Structure 1
Amino acid sequence: MVGLGLRREMLDEFCQQTPNQIEFFEVAPENWMTLGGKFGKQFKQLTERYAFFCHGLSLSIGSPEALDVEFVKNIKTFLDAHNIDVYSEHLSYCSGTGHMYDLMPIPFTDDAVSYVAKRIKQVEDILERPFILENVSFYAAPGAQMSEQDFVNAVLSEADCQLLLDVNNIYVNSINHQYDALKFLKAMPSERIKYLHVAGHYEEDVDLRVDTHGADVIDPVWKLLEQCYQIHGVYPTLLERDFNIPPTSELLKEINQIHALQQQGIASK
């Protein structure tokens, strides 16, 4: 399966006709939960016809503040209303005494592993769905006592949750923090992977990449996705494009490339 992140500006087009190559959509529930009127009707029209995944932005699973239980309950109401079973979030936090509107890195420590794992189980109990955790891009690692690779694996193991493996984030972090992207990829647990993300990013400098989802996927990231299929198997894969969004005909070139790599991955098994 290959999917695309749904934006409001795409609703008119996809309610009229959705290309066959797009097999599922992903949305951030925060951006759609309160929609009514025309947008709400169009969204419901699509959720009744296509598979949808939800990828949250503001759960703030690593926040020092108490979990926003009411927010999680609202997420559940939204998922139930649209028969969506897949809910993922970032291994990060975005709130403390206020909302920071950015994804901040959680300290890579044993205490943080236990803390995040307990909160994941709390969310799962409310949502009555498996929790899917995404490896995130980050630009500093304050207070780190272990590597990103070890931290991600430790949280997945202690929380006993699933993984949204973001291939572009692996590449971005490998440049910014000077590690081997393929080694990191191989260290991820195949049995926990639920689906994949692939996206473009911005080259700020020779040793600095910024995860923007605002550009085409580059060749090294395509190569890493190909290797991911070879190592872990073929999983549903989403093309993320959040701004500088080209016409659908252009997006389909990248979507078709994912399809082609998936077929290669299947054939190689």
Structure 2
Amino acid sequence: MHSMINPHSAGLGLRREMLPEVLHTKPAAIDFFEVAPENWLPYGGKLQRDFRTLTERYPFFCHGLSLSIGSPDPLDITFVRQIKQFLDEHKILLYSEHLSYCSAGGHLYDLMPIPFTEEAVSHVATRIKQVQDILERPLIIENVSYYAAPGQQLSEQAFLLAILNEANCQLLLDVNNIYVNAVNHGYDANRFLQAMPSERIAYYHVAGHFQQTESLLIDTHGADIPDPVWLLLQQAYQLHGVKPTLYERDFNLPPLAELCRELAQIKTLQQASLELT
């Protein structure tokens, strides 16, 4: 699967409102697209046809929203099968999900942090394996931003590493989330980054955030990428190698040309890292 996409590539989250423009002429800066399958599953008709036109032409990743891998509720097998069908139908290259949960006796409409406990490690690892068996492909999990850590026994770093090992799964490394959590919870972003297992990283996410106060950042995906996050991405390339990198922008969407400037910057850093090695 990986050989089908160049590690030196930059991608963009595809929003529905971008469809007409991208169908007409895809900017050269965009090497691949990423979508949340939940945002496309319910639709048929023209929207589905337009989407298929793009998935037939360009590489696509999926980044899910509602698998709820850490939920105490039973795994929604029907939903996982729908996802499999969607991934197969559109020949999606990679499927990732948040290391969080969004259901407990009903949908919570927010990504909640999983308690950092040994028990949760086993619970989540078992569910990841179950999902991978049904999907017949890897489930890549993403480190998430969190604002409270209820019942914490392990550090975020130890928790994440334990799950990667026990589930033997891949990681979507969100560089912005490392930075946001480091500021909010007072840890060293570089040390956290260094501790990540290079061989498990499938691809990177990078985004902007909102600074509420000096010591509270909110992960909004609604801004340009700030300097500290660019620096951390550069660091990630040097420590773990250049891999496909997606710019997440969900709100305050500027024109496509402006989004492509951020993608050009990703490629500049990828190139610079290549020249350093």
TM range (shorter): over 0.9
Q: Give unpaired runs (5+ residues) of structure 1.
A: none
The one-letter code of the counterpart of 1:250 is: E
Partner of 2:175: 167
Q: How much has 1:190 moved relative to structure 2?
A: 0.2
Q: d(CA) in 2 for partners of 1:44 and 1:264?
A: 35
Q: Deviations over 1:119-169 (max 9, x none)?
A: 000000000001100000000000010100000000000000000000000
2:17 to 2, 9, 22: 9
Q: d(CA) in 2 for partners of 1:233 and 1:265?
A: 8
The one-letter code of the counterpart of 1:118 is: T
Q: d(CA) in 1 for partners of 2:42 and 2:154?
A: 40
Q: d(CA) in 2 for partners of 1:6 and 1:253?
A: 16
Partner of 2:205: 197
Q: Deviations over 1:85-108 (max 9, x none)?
A: 311000000000110110100011
Q: Deviations over 1:52-81 (max 9, x none)?
A: 000000000000000000000000010111
Q: d(CA) in 1 for partners of 2:258 and 2:174?
A: 22
Q: d(CA) in 2 for partners of 1:265 and 1:231?
A: 10
Residue 88, structure 1, aligned to residue 92, structure 2? no
3-state SS of paired residue (1:130): coil
Does the 8 Å contact 2:59/2:93 carry over to 1?
A: no
Residue 47, structure 1, aligned to residue 60, structure 2? no
3-state SS of paired residue (1:101): strand
Partner of 1:64: 72
Q: d(CA) in 1 for partners of 2:162 and 2:275?
A: 32
3-state SS of paired residue (2:203): strand
1:225-236 aligned at under 5 Å gives the runs 225-236=233-244
Q: Deviations over 1:180-228 (max 9, x none)?
A: 0000000000000000000000001110000000011100000000000
Partner of 2:109: 101
The one-letter code of the counterpart of 1:46 is: L
Does the 8 Å contact 1:85/1:129 carry over to 2?
A: no
3-state SS of paired residue (1:48): helix
Aligned residues: 269
Residue 114, structure 1, aligned to residue 122, structure 2? yes
Residue 76, structure 1, aligned to residue 84, structure 2? yes
3-state SS of paired residue (2:243): coil
Q: d(CA) in 2 for partners of 1:44 and 1:18?
A: 15
Q: d(CA) in 1 for partners of 2:221 and 2:236?
A: 20
The one-letter code of the counterpart of 2:186 is: Q
Q: d(CA) in 1 for partners of 2:263 and 2:192?
A: 25
Does the 8 Å contact 2:69/2:101 carry over to 1?
A: yes
Partner of 2:250: 242
Q: d(CA) in 2 for partners of 1:72 and 1:129?
A: 12
Residue 134, structure 1, aligned to residue 142, structure 2? yes
Aligned-pair identity (%)? 67
Q: d(CA) in 1 for partners of 2:257 and 2:27?
A: 9
Query: What TM-score do the two structures reach when normalised by structure 1?
Result: 0.99
3-state SS of paired residue (2:57): coil
Residue 19, structure 1, aligned to residue 19, structure 2? no
2:43 to 26, 35, 44: 35
Q: What is the aligned-residue RMSD (CA, Å)?
A: 0.5
The one-letter code of the counterpart of 2:202 is: K
Residue 179, structure 1, aligned to residue 187, structure 2? yes
Does the 8 Å contact 2:70/2:99 carry over to 1?
A: yes
Q: d(CA) in 1 for partners of 2:145 and 2:102?
A: 14
